[in-house]
Amino acid sequence: MKKEDIPQDQSALTGVTRDVCYVKDKDGKYTTDLSIGWQVKKQALDNAWEDIHERVKEALEKVRRNEVSPIVYFMELKLMDIPLLSSYTGFWRWTIKRHFKPSVFNTLSDKKLMIYAKAFDISINDLKNFKE
C-alpha cells in the first residue's frame, strides 16, 4: 500500500485513536502513517454489532414472555456465552442452563444472584426486579 492510499474513513476509532499502517513513501521505502478507519472494517464491525443487538432483543422478548430468566438477557447483553459465564461465575454449564428456567431462577438464593450480578457488573436488584 502506498502512503497516499491509506483509507481515512470515519469509524468507531475516530476521536479515540488511529491505526498505524505500514506504507510505502514516494521513494518506495517503508514508513508508517495513521488511519482514522477503513470502510470495509467498519462495515464488518457494524455487521457484528447488528447481530449482537438482534440477539439481545430476542433474549429480552423471551424474558418478557417469561420463557427464560433475566440471566439469558444479561449474558447476551454482556457478549457472553455459557462457557464464558461459567468461568466468571464458577457454576457448571448445566447449572447455568438450569438457571435459565424462570421457575428455577425464582428460587435462587441472594448469594447465587450476587455471583451473577458481579459477573455481569450490575446490581442484584437489576436481576431480581427485571425491568428493561
Residues that bind another protein (CB under 8 A): 1, 12-13, 16-24, 29-30, 32, 34, 38-41, 43-45, 47-49, 51, 79-80, 83-84, 87-88, 121
Instruction: Go through the chain and tell me how many residues it has.
Output: 132
- Write down the least CB distance from residue 128 to another protein, Å: 24
Q: How far, in whole angstroms, is CA 45 from its chain's centroid?
A: 12
Helices 70-77, 82-89: crossing angle, 10 deg rounding: 100
Which ranges constitute the DSSP H helices of the chain? 39-64, 70-77, 82-89, 93-99, 102-105, 110-120, 124-128
- Write down the least CB distance from residue 67 to another protein, Å: 21
Cβ-based nearer residue to another protein, 8 or 83: 83
Cβ-based nearer residue to another protein, 57 or 83: 83
- Write down the least CB distance from residue 25 to another protein, Å: 11
